[in-house]
Each structure stands twice: as C-alpha cells, then as structure tokens.
A and B are shown apart, each in its own frame.
Chain A
Amino acid sequence: MNEKVVLDRDDVRRTLVRIAHEIVENNRDAQALAIVGIHTRGAVLANRLHALVTELADTEVPLGDLDISFYRDDLGERPTAPVVHASHLDFDPDDRTVVLVDDVLFTGRTVRAAIDALFDYGRPARVQLAVLADRGHRELPIRPDYVGKNLPTARGERVFVRLEEIDGVDEVAIADAAEPVVAGKGRDER
C-alpha cells in the first residue's frame, strides 16, 4: 500500500487550534453554541474542539455526539447491518448554533444524515460544519464552514484519518486505490 502522510501530529494540533479560533470569532454569542461530533472519529475531534472552544470562549459549551446509522441512505445495500454506536445529545438544540464536526468531508451524505438526526432532537437556529479534511467530490449541496485542510484527491484514492484516542497516533494520510474494500475492515474514509 502506497501511503503518503499529509498531516502529521503537529499539523493536526495546529489545525484544530485554528478551527477553534474561527468558531469563536464567527459566533459572538458563545452562549448559544453547541458542538456535536459525528461518530466515530468526528466525535473524538469534537471532544478536542470542545475543550479548545470552551477555554477560548471562557464559557461552558454543550457537547454531544451523533450516530447516523439510522439515517443512512444506503441501508439494505450493505451485506450486514451497520454497527450502531449510541448517540448522546443531552442538551436542547433549540435556538442554538450547532457546529457539526466530522473528520473527512467527501460526498456529503454523512453530513446530510447527521442534519436529519439532529433535527429529530429539536430545531437549531443555525447549523455549521467543521471538518479536519475536505477531499472534494461532493454529491450533495453541502459546504463546510471550517476546514482544516483541503485535500484534492482522485475518487478512487483513500483518505485515512488516525487519531490517538482510537488509532494511537494523530495523522492524515492518502493512499492509492486498493483492491475492493472489504466491508467493515479498515474504516478509513467517509
């Protein structure tokens, strides 16, 4: 496998700090903010961003996470039912600015599902999107508000986001198109 690391540990850290600043700058009313991560790695990133934003804004910002399995548009087309993680949204999203957080933005379908899931909890005033990497190839009219790094890729290439909490290391890497992906193994890109 031919892999090239495009973001290393320091890059990831700096990027998250920058995104945190941008979020706080764009949202004067920090009281109305909320951060919600999309499982699995989006939730981990949301956790880190939450710590950074809370410190910068000097106010407690609610944190949640969403599992979008029940909202996917491809159910019944995968060989096995997708594994479901729990969702945790203990605050009321009504009238808040909710920042959705994910690791990689690709076709936009996951974010679409996350918005649907979020709206089953309530009615946010605004929804913004923060992603660590945007690899292009959108299939839906979805655009990020905060981007860590733009990564132009070929469609068949694969993007791996690895995070210390899950993978033991912080990095973003791009690899060549491989043999047909085995469902469930190496959940690398979304």
Chain B
Amino acid sequence: MRHLLSIADLDRDEIGRIMELADSFAEVGRRDIKKVPTLRGRTVVSLFYESSTRTSSSFELAVKRLSADLVSVKAAGSSVDKGESLRDTIATLSAYEPEAIIIRSPHAGAAQLVAQWTDAAVVNAGDGKHEHPSQALLDVYTLRERLGELDGKKIWIVGDVLHSRVARSAAQAFTKMGAEVTLCGPPPLIPRGAAEALGCAVTHDLSELGEADVVYALRMQRERMAESFVPSLREYVANYQIDERRLGARQLLMHPGPVNRGVELSAEIMDHPNSLITQQVRNGLFVRMAILYELLAGGERPRGAREQGAAEVSVSQPIGEPA
C-alpha cells in the first residue's frame, strides 16, 4: 500500500491486514510504555485545512506513539489563509522531506492531487464529501471487536448521507467485509443513484430499523435546515432521531462524532450500554497507528540517498532476521 486515499482502492484482504495490525497496536496501548520506536527519525506532516479535534489529535498521537517527528499545520493562521495554493503549500512542506503527509481538505480529490505532487505516502484524513478512509477502518475494527466477522450483518446508516464522506467510506468498507448496508434518510439527503453507486439498499423511513444489527447515525448539521434540505429540526427529529424507543435492546449504536445531542441522537441514547461511540474514538488511535505502520514500515517509496545504504546491506543478508 503506497497511500491511503480511499476505501474504494482497498480490498477485503488489505482491510483485514490493517485490522490485524491494529490489534498489535491495541496491545501496545495496554502496556505501561505505550510507545514503540518503529518510526523513529521519520518525519510526518499533518495538514488540516478543516478544523477537527477528533481526527487530528488521533493522528497526531498515533505519529508520536510510533516515535516519528510530527509537523502539524492547521490552515487557520497559516500561509494558506493568505491564499497560498495547495500545490505551493505542499512544495514548501516538502523541504522537510516528510515520509508521510496526512491531509484533511474541504475539497474532494485533494489527497489524490497531493499524492501526485510528492514522494511521501499520503493519508487522506477526509477530502470534502468524498471519503474518510481512516474513519471507516476504525469503524470496521470496532464492529469486529464486538461482533467478530461482519459477513451477513445488517448495518443501517441513518441521516445526511449526501453530505457525508463518512457514509461513503463506511458503506463501502462494511460492504467489502461482507455486511449488508442500508442507507436511510430524508429523500433530499440521500443522493440519487446512491444504491447503485455504493451497493446498498435505500429507504426513507425507520419502520424496518428493527432488522438492523448495527445503527450508524450520521451528524445532522443545523445548516441543512437553512438550505431547505429538511423543513425543520422538529421534522427531522420526529422522523429520524435515534432514541431509546427506536434502538432495540440488542442493537449496537455508532456515530463518527461529534454528536449533535438532541438532533440525530437523543441525549440519553449516548449513554446506552450498546453505544460503541467511545470505543470508536479509542480504536481510532490504534487503527491510525496501523495505517502509518503499513505505509511506512515497508521501503517502497524513493528516498534518495537512503536507498544506496539500504541496497548494500540487503544484498549480503537480510538484516534484522539474524538473532
């Protein structure tokens, strides 16, 4: 794996490998010393054009626990604010010879473009409404932790699918792991062609919600009311809010965060014993460590002078193998 740009690029085996790696990093997380020297001396750049607490802090801690050096750029207050183009920003940051660039952008395809402009491994931390692959991977990991293999499991993704990169990535990831996904939301918020595009069933009401093993609620932004996607907050809550009434005793609840309490989830439901929301956040760290390990612990990308030294040694014997 050279980059992590989208779930669309991954197959079931690759996802499985990340899951196994994440297990190892979960074990590291149970030790007293939660850090490993694996990526010592490597530089990772984190470039966040959109504000985020959850994802950026998760990636930053992942980098640090792997002992790599982190350069963290947040768009506000940077040269980006002054109109510097993405391309120029990448060129500037390339002076640090980063081995990986983690990027979040409000525009679809940004991570892909960055991958064309740099030798570094690129991790898509969310690009517009397109994909959020690390979120989908931690969601798969969280579910497997709880349910084992996902084959045949029914997962409902409820809410504003149209504007959700999490929905796009998660629907594809769950499907690749064998689950049956249903998208549910108000008609203006389920994109036309979503069923064919994502290989899911589509419905507009919660009447069959009881058949789901997992209910994955999406954030419902208040701005959507202003844009006339739904008539009012009250309408949305009445038709789509997940609360104690709607969530069955054996159904698991997930949410990518941050939650709009009282909108897509009732205030009480978040403390429900079947809520996996805190596990999702905790697992995000391990999954992101696994992603960075998978991208950087192999030596696939060109790294100039480093290459020569490596080549000499590899020919004589595999280093590290000998005891």
Interface of A toward B, CB cutoff 8 Å? 38, 42, 67, 69-82, 84-88, 102-111, 113, 116, 120-122, 131, 137, 139, 155-156, 180-181, 183, 187, 189-190
Contact = CB atoms under 8 A, between A and B. Distances in A.
A86 B24 contact: yes
Contacts of A189: 321-322
Contact of A70 (B32, B37, B316, B323): B37
B163 to A, nearest CB: 35
B113 interface: no
B213 interface: no
A79 B299 contact: yes
A73 to B, nearest CB: 6
Contact of B20 (A79, A84, A103, A180): A84
Given A137-B322, A190-B321, 6 more contacts: A70-B37, A76-B298, A81-B297, A109-B322, A120-B35, A183-B318
B315 interface: yes
Contact of B317 (A71, A77, A87, A155): A155
Given A120-B36, A122-B32, A38 B323 contact: yes
B319 A109 contact: yes
Interface residues of B, number: 36
A73 B320 contact: yes
Q: What are the 8 A-B residue pairs with the smallest beta carbon separation, nearest first?
A: A106-B322, A81-B297, A107-B322, A70-B36, A74-B320, A77-B310, A81-B298, A74-B319
Given A84-B20, A84-B21, A121-B31, A108 B297 contact: no
Contacts of A38: 323
Contacts, number: 116
A183 B318 CA distance: 8
A88 B294 CA distance: 21
Contacts of B315: 180
Contacts of B39: 75
B322 A87 contact: no
B313 interface: yes
B14 to A, nearest CB: 12
Contacts of A156: 317
Contacts of B259: none
A79 B318 CA distance: 11
Interface in B244-303: 293-294, 296-300, 303
Nearest to A114: B323
A76 B297 contact: yes
Interface string B24-68: 100110011101111100100000000000000000000000000
B314 interface: yes
Contacts of A85: 24
Nearest to A159: B322
Nearest to A77: B310
A120 B38 contact: no
B38 A67 contact: no
A79 B300 contact: yes
B318 A181 contact: yes
Contacts of B36: 70-71, 120
Contacts of A76: 42, 296-299, 303, 306, 310
A132 B310 CA distance: 30
A79 to B, nearest CB: 6
B297 to A, nearest CB: 4
Nearest to A87: B27
B37 A71 contact: yes
A109 B323 contact: yes
B96 to A, nearest CB: 17
B23 interface: yes
Given A71-B37, A86-B27, A77 B299 contact: yes
Contacts of B23: 86
A82 B300 CA distance: 12
A87 B313 contact: no
A107 B320 CA distance: 8
5 contacts: A70-B38, A74-B318, A77-B299, A108-B322, A109-B323
B320 A81 contact: no
A155 B319 CA distance: 13
